[in-house]
Amino acid sequence: MDHLSYLFAAYSIIFVLIGLYVVFVSRRQTRLEREVTRLEGELRRFEQAQTPPEQHRSGI
Amino acid sequence: MKGAVSIALAAASCLSMIAALFMVFVYAPTEAEQGIVQRIFYFHLPCAWVAFLSFGIVAVAGALYLWLGHRIWDDLSYAAAELGMLFCTLVLVTGSIWAKPIWGTWWTWDSRLTTTFILWLLYGGYLLLRAFGEDNQEIARYAAVLGIIGVLDVPVIIISVRLWRTIHPAVLLTRQGEHGLQDPRMVAALLVSLGAFTLVFVWLLWLRLSTLRLRARIGGLRKELALLEVAGAGARR
């Protein structure tokens, strides 16, 4: 390997590893955001189900 | 708002990285002895700086967590440890790639390389503890103590080239107390790279903290839901 190949390898590894980390964190964030939305929806449905019907009608 | 901060940090990181690449490959002159491969140095040293900064944050945030007990300090410590590990890995890998054409070997048990590898192992242990331990206060306290102990290796790495016989170059301050970079353009390229890597670190830390905040929110929502289910079951009875 000539010196240019070593230089290219070093810089490539830096960008590839940082890029992979960004992808890994972003995917995890998307998954967690979806989970938060799901849980908030479930919580809202549960609270509505717990509210007595007369309160629903009167808008309390 | 959070999304806007993240986008701004990402844009600033990318622009500063482009500027650093320009400085390294166009502006800085080629080093006389090592030739073109010496340019690895301009990204190798900033990786080390970010790794040390990360482990410093792990220790300070860990100490604050032990003292105050707020979850935010534990989250900061965890996020910084992950980034420290990433950049410490990059230091070892780029150093190894640089060593091969210059020293003729990928690795040698030199004092600086060995102490850096010990740092990598210490924080590897920290991350294993976080990954396989449960998400509770006891594990967080153990991790905080490990993070504080681990950072003690950082000053040893920095002074290792003066304490022991080593083949690793002392670039910023030579053993004779001189400046290691002769050309001011080399210093400028290094400073721009240091700035770029610091910005990338801030951006990644922000991203990682966002996921940890979401994880905490999910924990809170699950607890709330479980409480409501228990209350609902009690009311039905």
Amino acid in position B236: R
Give me the pLDDT at residue A1, please: 66
Under 8 Å between Cβ of B186 and B28 = yes
Q: Nearest chain B Cα to A22, which residue?
A: B204
CA distance B203 to B198: 9
Using CA atoms, how far residue A8 sits from A4, A11, B2, B132, B235, in Å, is: 6, 5, 35, 36, 68
Give me the pLDDT at residue B136, please: 81
Interchain CB distance below 8 Å, B93 and A13: yes
Instruction: Tell me the average pLDDT of chain B.
Output: 89
Residue A59's region, left for phi above 0, alpha for psi from -120 to 50, else beta, is left
Give me the pLDDT at residue B181, please: 77
Q: What is the mean pLDDT of residues B157-175?
A: 74
Higher per-residue pLDDT: B10 or B31: B10
Closest by CA to A12, choosing from B207, B102, B13, B40, is B40
Give me the pLDDT at residue B76, please: 95
Give me the pLDDT at residue B226, please: 87
Q: Would the pLDDT of B30 be above 80?
A: yes
Q: Count of A–B CB contacts within 8 Å?
A: 87
Q: Would the pLDDT of B171 be above 90?
A: no
Q: Which residues of B touch A29 (CB under 8 A)?
A: 207, 210-211, 214
Closest by CA to B54, choosing from B26, B91, B17, is B91
Residue B191's region, left for phi above 0, alpha for psi from -120 to 50, else beta, is alpha
Give me the pLDDT at residue B164, please: 79
Which of residues 24 through 63 in chain B touch A, CB cutoff 8 A? 35-37, 39-40, 43-44, 47
Q: Would the pLDDT of B106 be above 80?
A: yes
pLDDT tier at B1, thresholds 50, 70, 90: low
Q: Which residues of A touch B33 (CB under 8 A)?
A: none
pTM of the model: 0.88
3-class state of residue B168 by DSSP: coil
Using CA atoms, how far residue B213 sits from A36, B78, B90, in Å, is: 11, 12, 27
pLDDT tier at B174, thresholds 50, 70, 90: low
CA distance B213 to B194: 28
3-class state of residue B31 by DSSP: strand
CA distance B34 to B55: 31
Interchain CB distance below 8 Å, B90 and A17: yes
Interchain CB distance below 8 Å, A10 and B94: yes
ipTM of model: 0.87
Q: Nearest chain B Cα to A12, which residue?
A: B94
Best A2, A15, A32, A50 member to test B by mutation, with max B CBs in 10 Å, is A32
Q: Which two tokens stand for residue B193?
A: 């790279």
